[in-house]
Every structure is written in structure tokens, then in C-alpha cells.
Structure 1
Amino acid sequence: MNEIFLTLYVLVWPVVVLGVLWVLGRAFIKEILQARREGRSLI
């Protein structure tokens, strides 16, 4: 039974990381587009 939990734990981490990277990437692209619309630098 412990092997199942360990396997699920190991397999869930890539999904969590992918979700976090997706959210951060989406927010970053949104910021870039907004800065271009307003004609200002992102930095």
C-alpha cells in the first residue's frame, strides 16, 4: 500500500510544477502584452 502512495506522490509533483509554471507564464505574457499596449517598458 505504501508503494502506491509513494508512486502517486512522485507522479503528482510534475503536474503541480507544470501548473505553477503555466500560471506564472500566463501572467508574465499578460504583463508583456499590457506593457506593449500602454507603450511602456516591462522593466
Structure 2
Amino acid sequence: METFFLTLYVLIWPVLVAGVLFGIARSFLREWATARREGRRLI
């Protein structure tokens, strides 16, 4: 049973990182689309 929890602990990190990366990318794309629609630069 200890191996199961250790494996779960190790495998959860890529899932968490992927979720955070997805959230950042989604927010960036939303901001980029809004800026483009309004005709202004993103930076």
C-alpha cells in the first residue's frame, strides 16, 4: 500500500503543473484576444 501512495504522490505533480500551465495559458490567450479586439498592444 505504501508503494501506491508514493506512486500517487509522484504522479500528481505533473497533473498539478499541467493544470497551472493551462490556467496561465488560458488567461494569456483571453487577454490577448481582448487587446486585439480593442486594437491595442498587449505589452
TM-score by length of 2: 0.90
Equivalent residue runs for 1:1-43 within 5 Å: 1-43=1-43
TM-score by length of 1: 0.90
Gaps of 5+ in 1: none
Counterparts of 1:38 and 1:6 in 2: how far apart (Å)?
49
Q: CA RMSD in A?
A: 0.7
Structure 1 ranges of 4+ moved more than 4 A = none
How many Å apart are 1:4 and its aligned residue?
1.6
Aligned length: 43
